[in-house]
Amino acid sequence: MPIKQKIGVIDLFCGIGGLSHGMYNKGFDIIAGFDIDKTCRYAYEYNNKARFFDQDINTVNKELVNKLFEGYDIKVLAGCAPCQPFSSYAFKNKNKDQDKYDLLYEFGRLVQEVLPDIITMENVSQILTFKQKPVLADFVELLKKNGYHVDYDVVYCPNYGIPQTRKRIVLLASRIGEIKLIPPTHDKDKYKTVRDVIGSLPPIEAGEVCKTDPFHRSRALTDINLKRIKATPPNGGWKDWSDDLMLDCHKKETGRSFGSVYGRMNWDQPAPTMTTLCTGLGNGRFGHPEQNRAISLREAALFQTFPENYIFFSPEEEVSVTKASRYIGNAVPPRLGEITAESILNHLESIKDHE
């Protein structure tokens, strides 16, 4: 039996709207998104039919949030705080992004002031073992003190049809009753692979823009990097090169652990995790499986499960590879937004059945 209640979503740290779009696809009303990156406005508003607020979460108050939620039966507050401070890179750079550690506490402040019906939060799995502050434990404790049933777990994205080896913690909380993420939708034999996702795209050269799709464009390569990718066999990487192509850092013991950089993706496996630097050859295993280039913007967006009709820039704006890569790498995969929405719908159905 379909849910007849009107479900409204406010998305904090919304970026260009990956999470929102997944929930939008499942019939939720996306009311508004908040982010300090004002360049995300066009993509967020155009694709999700919602308002974008260029506003720091520290300045968002309950009066504004409550006003936006007016008229909705079920109020959903989403908050996927920037994950950089909890990443493995941040562990080695402890003075970087210190102010971002408190973003989840600000999210908690708004939860406590507004008391929305349902909360969803996504972040990197390292937040579970983050040593500087018990950020996640404090957030869960706050939710429970305010009457929420809480469920969270580490999600391996291929288990939900997302074609990249991303691992993320997904939290759901409800004041209505018990809530859980739906079971995995894919097993290992049915994981979506690189070939499934980009195998049919037109071939392009490094630095070329596809004639039929302006978003299918790749970064140009220097002469030495072009030689390097040409010397990289299928599924290979820099360890397959001759000495004259290797970087000095790779010849040192400390550099040998970075085996994925300059690597080619495997046609028959999911892609690696998309990052804000995923269109750069030297930033990970971001080489095309057989073409001599790094993956294109379109390929990165498809690995993140953005549909081909998702618009990233206004018609008046030139496509920026650097900006688009940041948008894509920072985004929650829309498919994960759909999984979250399906979990919320299941939750509401189960509550309705027990009434």
- Could you confirm whether 210 is annotated as catalytic? no
Q: Strands across the sheet with 74-79, in order?
A: 51-54, 29-35, 7-12, 74-79, 118-124, 167-174, 149-156
Which one-letter DSSP state was computed for residue 175?
S
- Is 57:13 a contact under the CB 8 Å cutoff? yes
Q: Which of 80, 83, 157, 278 is catalytic?
A: 83
| Nearby residues of 334 by Cβ (< 8 Å), 6 or more positions away | 18, 19, 21, 22, 25, 304, 305, 306, 307, 310
How is 271-333 classified by DSSP, letter by letter? BPPP-TTTTSGGGTT-B-SSSSSBPPHHHHHHHTT--TT---S-TTSPP-HHHHHHHHHHSPP
Compute and round to an integer the Cα radius of gyration of the chain: 21
Residue position matching structure tokens 């997904």: 170
Q: What separation, in Å, do the N-terminal and C-terminal C-alpha atoms of the chain show?
A: 14
Q: Report the alpha-carbon distance of residue 317 to residue 320 in Å, rounded.
A: 9
* Angle, helices 62-69/103-114, rounded to nearest 10 degrees: 60
Q: Which residues are catalytic?
A: 83
